[in-house]
Structure 1
Amino acid sequence: MKINDQMAALVNAQVNEEFHAAHLYLAMSFQMANEGYDGFAHWFLQQYHEEIEHALEMAQYLQARSGQPQLTGVAEMPQHFGTPLELFEAAYKHECHVTEQIHKIYKHALDTSDYATSSFFKKYIDEQVEEEDSVLAIIDHLRMAGDKGIYLVNAQLGKR
């Protein structure tokens, strides 16, 4: 069954959100690498790959429902986000934003009886719980480690 235009627009917006998130994490990875935090850089690079995968999955879903993915472009990213703690706090804030957007799509799917879209996006709802929890745990570890223990957290995230 063809996806309705309003739902297609919501999914398209999320595809572009995922590409935006990917570029955000890539910029964060570059900053961390430039500052010698190879573990943090690795973690953010893995996030970049994950977000690209999500964008492509969503675009393919849209195509499977006879929709047309429309890329709107990605805004220029900042070159510096602050300290490692500030980067992870920004990442958490962004993950919360993504959660809100996915909930919006899921709610609209349920409200319009688009069960295929609600089923497809259920996995992203579950994943966002894990994403938010993961980033919060890193924030907690950074706060506990303080300046002297930051390299231990950096080394641990390099193992991801």
Structure 2
Amino acid sequence: MISKTLQKAINDQIQKEFYSSYLYLSMAAYAESENLPGFAHWLRLQQQEEQGHAMKLYKYLNERGGRVELQAIEQPPTEFSSPTKMFEEVLEHERFVTASINKLYEKALKENDYAAQIMLQWFIEEQVEEEATASEILETLKMAGEKGQALLMLDRQLARRGMD
């Protein structure tokens, strides 16, 4: 059985993961409107991944005898001034999620919940990857600029996500 404290913290994290999913879907819609189908494709896959993270926590909570209590998801931004600014927000958001996962892990440590610690190790490793990928795309965007052939090439590269 999972503690009430950890149950609440995991429910809060489920909400954050669903918000992440919603945020990336909003970003995908923006990219589509800016005629950047590769960015949109990458962001839609990211949206699915985030939803999967929420469901991993959902399943875990149920397996531990906890109760999932879904929370409201606020509306994400719908406008981004540029692809670069959008990926600055992606990186900032991933850092926020990393901090949240780290706090959740600290609670599991404090409560000596070894099962939660093991499960959260996966999320910690995932966040290292998430931040590195967002940072790499952001740095490439800064080098490529907002217009021209380099942006088009990056858009095509992002369109290949999931095909490698």
Quote the residue 2:152 is aligned against: 151
What's the RMSD between the two structures over aligned residues? Answer: 0.7
Distance 1:99 1:17 in 2: 11
Quote the residue 2:27 is aligned against: 28
Q: What is the aligned length?
A: 159
Runs (5+) with no aligned partner, structure 2: none
Same amino acid, percent of matched pairs = 36
CA distances 1:75-129 after superposition (whole Å, capped 9, x unpaired): 1122212200111110000000000000001111111100000000101101100
TM-score w.r.t. the length of structure 2 is 0.95
| Counterpart residue type for residue 158 of structure 1 | A
Distance 1:77 1:134 in 2: 21
Distance 2:19 2:34 in 1: 23
Q: Output aligned runs, 1:6-85, within 5 Å.
A: 6-85=5-84
Distance 2:21 2:95 in 1: 15
Quote the residue 1:123 is aligned against: 122
- 1:131, distance to aligned residue in structure 2 (A): 0.5
Distance 1:100 1:16 in 2: 15
- 1:73, distance to aligned residue in structure 2 (A): 1.6
Quote the residue 1:91 is aligned against: 90
| Counterpart residue type for residue 99 of structure 2 | E
| Counterpart residue type for residue 102 of structure 1 | I
Distance 2:81 2:71 in 1: 28
Distance 2:12 2:80 in 1: 25
